[in-house]
Structure 1
Amino acid sequence: MFVRTVYATGDPAELDTAVRALNSRGHDLLEERPGYRGAGVFVDRQLGKLLSVSWWETEEARYNSDEVMRERRPALLGPFAGTVAVENYEVAVFHALHQRSTTGGGLRLARVEFDPADADLFADAFHADLLPRLEALPGLARAALFLDRHRGRGLVGTLFTDPHSLAASRAGQARVRREGAAKAEVTVVGLEEFEVVHADARTL
């Protein structure tokens, strides 16, 4: 599986306009594209941040879809978006504890950097050592690791069923993050939290 992320910042007062466009016109456009396997929309309403993640069966399907989405994206995100960053990743790990809706829940996102030669080391350590510890966090719904092997960058996402579980997990996940970063030889360069508007990745 492969994903494309779109990270936009702008005026918080205009954020819901972009969310409505993504959930209607944007959703319809994605559903028409071959190889589409779902999407997620996550927001920080206070600061004015929006993260959209689309899932694809192959790199080719992701690439082909972007030819269309690149043209439509400004209209979908305007007038909210003042800045837009688009990135592509391989899905190295995806683990769903249950299929319950996570709408209204929370996403914690860690941005990491690593030596590109250590990409497999990172993926193996995450799956074997970190994932079992993350599973013990109350309210965890899903955990994922996205990798850009060439640039040595990645995203670690943990989805929680509700805002209380997200907040209550901060100390426990901080311990996992500290020990995991040391063991996998990665550097955490960013940490963010978002509200889950929707998340419907279909990985099977």
Structure 2
Amino acid sequence: MFVRTVYATGDPARLGTAVGALNTRGHDLLEERPGYRGAGVFVDRELGKLLTVSWWESAEARRNSDEVMSARRPELLQPFAGTVAVENYEAAVFHTGHRALTGGGLRVSRFELDPADADLAADTFHTGVLARLEVLSGFGGAALFLDRERGRGMAGVLFADRVSLAASRARHAAIRREGAAKAHVTVVALEEFEIVHADVRGD
């Protein structure tokens, strides 16, 4: 599958307005688009950060949705958003969990790599990293996103609750260190979010 991420920052006091708009009007807009396969909304209420991920069955479906979504996005994110960044990725690895995740946690690792190593990164995550993540307490799913042209990616791991998210930090750090070395990637940012909504329709 293919994904579009929207990363917005702004006044934490106004974050709730944007979340409400995304979960109502934004959700309805996405559901109307052909090829839509689900979405996630994730927040850092303390700092004022919002991450949304929409899933598409093809790159064409994602591209065809851009005109409507880009036109309506400012309306949905105001008055919260002070900065907005939109990025497109291939979902190279996608593993669904089986837990109710609202109120749980998401940990995101952003990384850079040589585009020639994109397949190595996907294979390393799928054949080695994923099995180690699955045994972490509260594991709720994981995905690896790649932008092969720009040499960038994101690895996200969902947890059923915030306690499990916090308790996993040391073990996940070891997994991340070893996985990054094997995949020849450089981790450039690490973030944690609360899960407001996460629903993806797998194959």
- Tell me the CA shift for residue 136 of structure 1: 1.3
Question: In 2, distance between residues paired with 1:158 and 1:97?
Answer: 10
Q: Secondary structure at the match of 1:103?
A: coil
Letter in structure 2 aligned against 1:107 = L
Q: Secondary structure at the match of 1:28?
A: helix
Q: Secondary structure at the match of 1:27?
A: helix
Question: In 2, distance between residues paired with 1:97 and 1:202?
Answer: 12
Name the structure 1 match of 2:5.
5
- Tell me the CA shift for residue 97 of structure 1: 3.2
CA offsets, 1:6-64, max 9 Å, x none? 00000000000000000000000000000000100000000000000000000010001
Question: In 2, distance between residues paired with 1:101 and 1:66?
Answer: 30
Name the structure 2 match of 1:19.
19
Q: Secondary structure at the match of 1:110?
A: strand
Q: Secondary structure at the match of 1:66?
A: helix
Instruction: Spell out the pairing of 1:35-46 with structure 2 (5 A cutoff).
Output: 35-46=35-46
C-alpha contact 2:96 2:202 (8 A) present in aligned 1? no
Name the structure 2 match of 1:194.
193
Q: Secondary structure at the match of 1:46?
A: coil
Question: In 2, distance between residues paired with 1:114 and 1:57?
Answer: 25
Instruction: Spell out the pairing of 1:1-204 with structure 2 (5 A cutoff).
Output: 1-98=1-98, 100-204=99-203
Question: In 1, distance between residues paired with 2:170 and 2:64?
Answer: 41
The TM-score, its normalising length taken from structure 1, stands at: 0.99
Letter in structure 2 aligned against 1:171 = A
CA offsets, 1:148-194, max 9 Å, x none? 00011000000000000000000000000011111111000000000
Unmatched 5+ stretches in structure 1: none
Question: In 1, distance between residues paired with 2:69 and 2:202?
Answer: 21
Letter in structure 1 aligned against 2:104 = G
What percent identity do the matched residue pairs reach? 75
C-alpha contact 2:118 2:146 (8 A) present in aligned 1? yes
Question: In 1, distance between residues paired with 2:26 and 2:96?
Answer: 25
Aligned residues: 203
Question: In 2, distance between residues paired with 1:129 and 1:118?
Answer: 16
Question: In 2, distance between residues paired with 1:28 and 1:93?
Answer: 27
Q: Secondary structure at the match of 2:68?
A: helix
Letter in structure 1 aligned against 2:193 = F
Which portions of structure 1, spanning 4 or more consecutive aligned residues, are displaced by more than 3 angstroms? none
